Structure 1
Amino acid sequence: MAHYTRILLLADPSLQRTPALDAAARMAKAAGARLHINVFDASDTIAAMKWMQPDLAQPAMDAYTEVRRAWAVTEAQVLQAQGIDAVGDAAWARPAIDEMLEQIGELKPDLVIKDVHHEPALRRIFLTPLDWQLLRQCPAQLLLVNSAAAVPPRRVLAAIDPVRGGPGGHDFNRKIVQDALGFAIQCDAELHLVTAFDAAVLTGFGAAEAGAVVTTELFETLRDSHRQVFDEVADAYGVPAGRRHFLYGPPAAAIAEFAGQHHTDVIAVGASSRHGVERFLLGSTAESLCENAPCNLLAIKPEGFAAAGA
């Protein structure tokens, strides 16, 4: 079971107090973890000085970074006064992802937290290119906190895929539930487990073809097999029947709709690059779920992700 000792906040470059900062402070206090508040930012204008006024560029970069370091240190001091072990720092980061991943590799945090924008009109979060890079490459658990998240999470929904192939796939399902459970415990939240059964996808037929080809017997066989694996994982982690949700239809759409209708605060999803190609292990299902999530996202990587250098 995960117990956080180091949490890294990728603080918003706007230098404002945000939902992610509040979430990071709550998590650090609840877990007794050290919170690292780090700002990764750069100025295109100052960066251009390297070519036009190289003698002035470095002092300008240092001054720009120092303003951000001072803000992070001040925020850390505010949290220290509340009994939270917090430190602040900043780095000139251009591109930001390189410095972030280097810091994550050195610090080895148990949890990385970052703000994402919530789009009220679409009722979902809006992911930037940097968010996608972190989802695909960050080796630690990554919590993306949307701008509408004003309260501590009370319901965590772990999404698993019972038909994920091979022993490694089954191990990954269990790791998703294990990590989501550890997260829920430290938030004092309920853990719910969800999966979605889509016969058309499982048989390789399109929706129209599946209706004609998939017999009742085949449908029931596939569904029962899917449900058996789902229940085995739920049993292994003591998830009660009332918190197991077996849905029907395209997984991403079904799970996102369920999360929105049932006041879900966090969706935990498994994500990993594979063979050097920047794609989720769950492919389009996981990407679509992340794109359409109505709440916070907790991205979980498989064992050995960092060692694999994916």
Structure 2
Amino acid sequence: MDKILVIADPLTQLQNAFIKALSLAHSSCASIHVAAVCYESFAELNDSDFDSGSIKEKIIQQHKEFWQKQINQYDSNLTIDVEVVWHKQLHDWVIKECSANKYDLIVKTGHRSETSFYTPTDWMLFRDSPIPVYVVEPQKHKCEKVVLVALDALAKSTEKQVLNSQLLESAFRLAVQTDAKLHCAYVIKIPTLLKDLDLVDPKTYTNKIKVRAQANMDTLLADYDITKECVHILEGEPWGVLANLSKKLHSQCLVVGSMGRKGIMGKLVGNTAEKIIHVAHTDLLVIGPDVDSKSLL
């Protein structure tokens, strides 16, 4: 990993994303580019009483001074630069920035404000980002040196198989960089219709799928030194099971894939990554299907 893009937290909050990026940069010798994206609407101000241009410049200057003080506090061996961006749509700016410049990772603090009519920046980045997104959990929680990665042991499409490889390789590298133990999980989900109509015996169905999943996991993990105790094949709703397993293991980070559902389908179905962010009290590393393999951790 060579370069990290950090989305700065508001000036009034703890800079969780920057602190996490510093930790990752120290272990990988990466440079850090901090984007302090800010915007205020002056539509309601009376032009005769306020100079909106002057206020804007003062806000930008305030951010520059704050970040200069932050950088001065940290190790000069790291290459850290800051850009103050005046832009209303954070998601749009980030995607354009990643297209124009070479980054290996986006780091930002997580937010959970999704509603029926509003999709937060986190979710939009999960769906559109061309590079992995590391979402920092802002609340302190007990964690061990454990990285948990969610894999699709029964992936059939080439797209999902490639994503599996990307997830595993990224999780492995993150575990090595942070001196953590790598755990892998696959969640068996019994189709709702089969369960509701009592068309299958849940235990028999789960055991049958588990045999196939275990064989595929053995093949997928063949090149990695992962013990049986670190491979988990469970049944239930993927987002809930993964969140609970992450809590049980006290994982420092949960690595998941996002299939990038958009529009009505994205609203109705959502992605596992988007559901997990509501319930998992841990950092998330989200990797989409369009991520360049060269951009892995």
* Alignment partners' CA distance in 2, 1:283 and 1:148: 24
Letter in 1 for 2:129: C
Q: Pick the aligned partner of 1:95 from 75, 89, 104.
A: 89
- Shift in CA distance, 260/278, structure 1 to aligned 2, threshold 3 Å: same
- Shift in CA distance, 73/243, structure 1 to aligned 2, threshold 3 Å: same
Q: 1:62 maps to what in 2? A: 57
* Alignment partners' CA distance in 2, 1:215 and 1:133: 35
1:134-145 mapped onto 2 (5 Å cutoff):
134-145=125-136
SS at match of 1:235: coil
In the alignment, structure 2 segments of 5+ residues that lack a partner are 115-119
Does the Cα contact within 8 Å between 1:24 and 1:113 map onto a contact in 2?
A: yes
Q: Pick the aligned partner of 1:207 from 195, 207, 222.
A: 195
Q: Pick the aligned partner of 2:137 from 139, 146, 165.
A: 146
1:214-253 mapped onto 2 (5 Å cutoff):
214=201, 219-253=206-240
1:172 has 2:163 as partner: yes
CA displacement at 1:148 relative to structure 2:
2.2
CA displacement at 1:303 relative to structure 2:
4.5
* Alignment partners' CA distance in 2, 1:151 and 1:29: 22
Q: Pick the aligned partner of 2:19 from 6, 11, 22.
A: 22
SS at match of 2:68: helix
* Bigger relative contact order, structure 1 or 2 (CA pairs below 8 A, ≥6 apart): 2
* Alignment partners' CA distance in 1, 2:204 and 2:185: 24
* Alignment partners' CA distance in 2, 1:151 and 1:257: 14
- Shift in CA distance, 59/149, structure 1 to aligned 2, threshold 3 Å: same
In the alignment, structure 1 segments of 5+ residues that lack a partner are 118-125
Which has the larger displacement, 266-275 or 83-92? 266-275
Q: 2:100 maps to what in 1? A: 106
1:188 has 2:182 as partner: no
* Alignment partners' CA distance in 1, 2:65 and 2:242: 42
* Alignment partners' CA distance in 2, 1:195 and 1:40: 37
Does the Cα contact within 8 Å between 2:147 and 2:255 map onto a contact in 1?
A: yes
- Shift in CA distance, 78/15, structure 1 to aligned 2, threshold 3 Å: farther
* Alignment partners' CA distance in 2, 1:250 and 1:21: 33
* Alignment partners' CA distance in 1, 2:287 and 2:11: 27
* Alignment partners' CA distance in 2, 1:271 and 1:284: 6
CA displacement at 1:217 relative to structure 2:
6.2
- Shift in CA distance, 275/252, structure 1 to aligned 2, threshold 3 Å: closer
Letter in 2 for 1:42: Y
* Alignment partners' CA distance in 1, 2:194 and 2:89: 41
Does the Cα contact within 8 Å between 2:261 and 2:270 map onto a contact in 1?
A: no
SS at match of 1:165: coil
Alpha-carbon RMSD across the aligned residues, in angstroms, is 3.0
1:294-305 mapped onto 2 (5 Å cutoff):
294-303=281-290
Does the Cα contact within 8 Å between 1:5 and 1:33 map onto a contact in 2?
A: yes
CA displacement at 1:192 relative to structure 2:
0.9
Provide TM-score, normalisation by structure 1.
0.81
Letter in 2 for 1:70: E
CA displacement at 1:264 relative to structure 2:
1.3
Does the Cα contact within 8 Å between 1:153 and 1:187 map onto a contact in 2?
A: no
- Shift in CA distance, 192/110, structure 1 to aligned 2, threshold 3 Å: same
CA displacement at 1:231 relative to structure 2:
2.3
Does the Cα contact within 8 Å between 2:127 and 2:261 map onto a contact in 1?
A: no
Does the Cα contact within 8 Å between 1:9 and 1:38 map onto a contact in 2?
A: yes
CA displacement at 1:41 relative to structure 2:
0.8
SS at match of 1:136: helix
Q: Pick the aligned partner of 2:3 from 2, 6, 13.
A: 6
CA displacement at 1:99 relative to structure 2:
1.9
Does the Cα contact within 8 Å between 1:116 and 1:127 map onto a contact in 2?
A: no
Number of residue pairs matched by the alignment: 287
